[in-house]
């Protein structure tokens, strides 16, 4: 029992360090990998990042690296400061809602109300059905709770808890083969790497070449003797095929019928669900969530939806007290940036 209590306390401390308001800031040294932009100024998708719902992640602070990555690909990025309406979304291709809150908070004490009004939920759903694309991110508790009305309208059921950091890979089957884990044939990004340029380019000349459903891990990503993945920050990791993605906690959800789970949680994964976020003890409710998702895609009417239950995976942040960095430049997350690109390409159609 004492051991369980110590584990719970440690888990609690780690979550608070990475998620509380004051020490968690954008990594000012972050720079996207060099590449040839996919889009040009006269043919660029417009991405609107919501900042009108007390969002914890904004493009001028904790989500700045997210915006930097998109801008490096020629994407037009702007912030939203008003309530959602058909007029506000009129000229938008992709709407990003990342960690919205019900109010400006100095603590995580309940109750937690809905971040969006019923009218706003209806506007967003109709906008997607008519051809818009939504990128929804709801991290650990309480973020899933305050966005519940929109998530439910889309058919997603979230836990309102905390999930440990997770490594998803094709080798373990937790990261699936999908178009967002492969660059489109007409993309121009070079990612500073030609490591796999010849491996899949001419299957007739190379009968050993693997098809997308039979992915062979490079040596540096194969399992070591103790079963762990070796993940070296190597330019070869920035190839166009995504074989590994890392999340940094967050929550989990069940996607609706017709959705595709990209990141599926494996055996022994648990959601820890305290009544008050971060107040975790040995007696706090724990729920087995094997088979639940942390990232999924859905086509809805003429539009598209990407839902993720963790936000740091698409940013780069620093704990100002320790100097520790978390996110796209962390060990194990070297391909998160490529993964983000491919999600945006899919949402842009």
Per-residue pLDDT of the chain in tens (349 residues, 90 and over written 9):
444 444 443 444 444 433 445 588 888 889 999 888 999 988 999 999 999 999 988 888 899 999 999 999 999 999 999 999 999 999 999 999 999 999 998 888 999 999 999 999 999 999 999 999 999 999 999 999 999 999 999 999 999 999 999 999 999 999 999 999 985 433 333 443 333 323 332 323 333 333 222 233 332 333 333 333 333 334 434 457 899 999 999 999 999 999 999 999 999 999 999 999 989 999 999 999 999 999 999 999 999 999 999 999 999 988 888 888 899 999 999 999 999 999 999 999 9
Cβ partners under 8 Å of residue 349, min gap 6 = 133, 304
Rounded to whole angstroms, the Cα distance separating 297 from 305 reads: 6
Cα gap 5→310, rounded to integer Å: 25
Query: What pLDDT is recorded for position 339?
Result: 97
Going by their DSSP bridges, the two strands 94-98 and 46-50 should be labelled as parallel
Q: How far apart are CA 154 and CA 121, in angstroms?
A: 10
pLDDT attached to residue 239: 53
Are 77 and 70 in contact by the 8 Å Cβ rule? The answer is yes
Name the DSSP letter for residue 217: P
Report pTM: 0.81
Residue with tokens 């095929």: 241
Amino acid 108: pLDDT: 87
Helices (H), the chain: 2-19, 64-72, 118-129, 143-146, 148-154, 336-348
| 3-state secondary structure at position 235 | helix
């Amino acid at each position: 029992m004492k051991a369980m209590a110590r584990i719970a306390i440690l888990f609690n401390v780690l979550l608070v360090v990475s998620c509380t308001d004051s020490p968690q800031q954008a990594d000012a040294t972050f720079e996207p990998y060099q590449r040839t932009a996919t889009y040009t100024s006269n043919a660029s998708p417009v991405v609107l990042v919501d900042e009108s719902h007390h969002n914890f992640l904004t493009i001028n602070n904790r989500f700045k690296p997210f915006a930097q990555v998109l801008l490096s690909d020629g994407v037009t990025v702007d912030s939203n400061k008003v309530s959602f309406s058909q007029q506000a979304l009129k000229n938008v291709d992709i709407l990003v809602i990342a960690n919205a809150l019900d109010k400006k908070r100095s603590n995580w004490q309940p109750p937690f109300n809905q971040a969006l009004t019923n009218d706003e939920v209806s506007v967003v759903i109709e906008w997607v059905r008519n051809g818009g694309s939504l990128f929804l991110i709801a991290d650990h508790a309480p973020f899933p709770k305050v966005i519940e009305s929109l998530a439910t309208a889309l058919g997603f059921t979230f836990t309102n808890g905390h999930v440990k950091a997770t490594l998803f890979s094709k080798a373990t089957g937790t990261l699936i083969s999908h178009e967002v884990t492969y660059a489109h044939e007409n993309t121009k990004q070079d990612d500073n790497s030609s490591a796999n340029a010849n491996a899949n380019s001419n299957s007739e000349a190379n009968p050993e070449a693997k098809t997308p459903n039979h992915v062979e891990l490079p040596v540096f990503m194969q399992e070591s003797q103790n079963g762990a993945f070796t993940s070296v920050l190597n330019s070869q990791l920035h190839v166009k095929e995504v074989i590994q993605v890392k999340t940094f906690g967050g929550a989990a959800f069940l996607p609706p019928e017709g959705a595709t789970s990209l990141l599926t949680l494996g055996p022994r994964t648990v959601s820890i669900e305290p009544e008050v976020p971060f107040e975790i003890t040995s007696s706090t409710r724990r729920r087995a969530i094997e088979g639940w998702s942390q990232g999924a895609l859905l086509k809805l009417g003429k539009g598209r939806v990407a839902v993720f239950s963790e936000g740091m995976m698409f940013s780069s942040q620093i704990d100002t007290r320790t100097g520790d960095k978390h996110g796209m430049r962390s060990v194990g997350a070297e391909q998160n940036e490529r993964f983000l690109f491919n999600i945006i390409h899919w949402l842009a159609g």
